[in-house]
Every structure is written in structure tokens, then in C-alpha cells.
Amino acid sequence: MPRELTEKDIGILKKLVPEFEETACPGSGHMFQSILPPVSNHFATDGKDFAERIARLSDDELQYLTGLIFTGDESLGCIAEEDLDSFILLVKERLSPEEAKKVLNAYAVGGTCELD
């Protein structure tokens, strides 16, 4: 679901991507509408880098992101499968196995990547 990033969202994005400068996609020029897809697709160099970046999240920030996922405000449809696995594992380890299952279910019913 397209949304405008809040100051809190931008703060989390900057924590995950210290080199972050613009709220627009470098390739398309579209404004970022989620946190995890830009990290996965534009900044992380590989799955290991993505996992290291999301490990920087506090438990509160991780809970905030899962809440956005459950309401449909944070997209998982555009992230690489390996990155999705890393995110679900982090949720399982830091929050709970139940939360991880809910994230996986949200991904399964969430549809495909929206580029517009």
C-alpha cells in the first residue's frame, strides 16, 4: 500500500542505511513508500548485508515495523526472498515465533510488488 514515510520511518531508514540521503528511489525517482524494500533492493549489497542492517533495529523498531506490515502499511512484496527469510528469522528470535508466523502470513496474502 503506497504511503508517505513519517519522520519515524525516515529515522529507521537512516539507521538501516547510514548512507541514505534522499527519500526517492535512485533508479526511478519515485518517493520511497516503505522501509524494507529500499534497504533490500537499493542499499544492501547482498543477503548478508541486509541481515546485518536489520539487526541494528531495536525491539521497539522491529515491533513498529511488524505492526506496519500487519496493517498493510509496510510492503514485503518487493524484497528479495533471502531478505524476507532474514527478516522473519529476526522477528522469530527477537519478538516471538508467533509474530514471525504472522509476518509470513502477511507476506503470503500481501500481493505482489507495487512499483507505482
Residue 57, pLDDT > 90, answer: yes
Q: What's phi and psi for 31, nearest 5 deg?
A: -70, 140
Is 70 exceeded by the pLDDT of residue 95?
yes
pLDDT at 75 over 60: yes
- Decide if pLDDT at 116 tops 50: no
Check whether 27 has a pLDDT greater than 80: no
pTM (predicted TM-score) = 0.86
Label residues 80-116 b or e (16+ Cβ within 10 Å = b): eeebbebbbebbbeebeeebbebbbebbeebeeeeee
Whether 30 shows a pLDDT value over 50: the answer reads yes
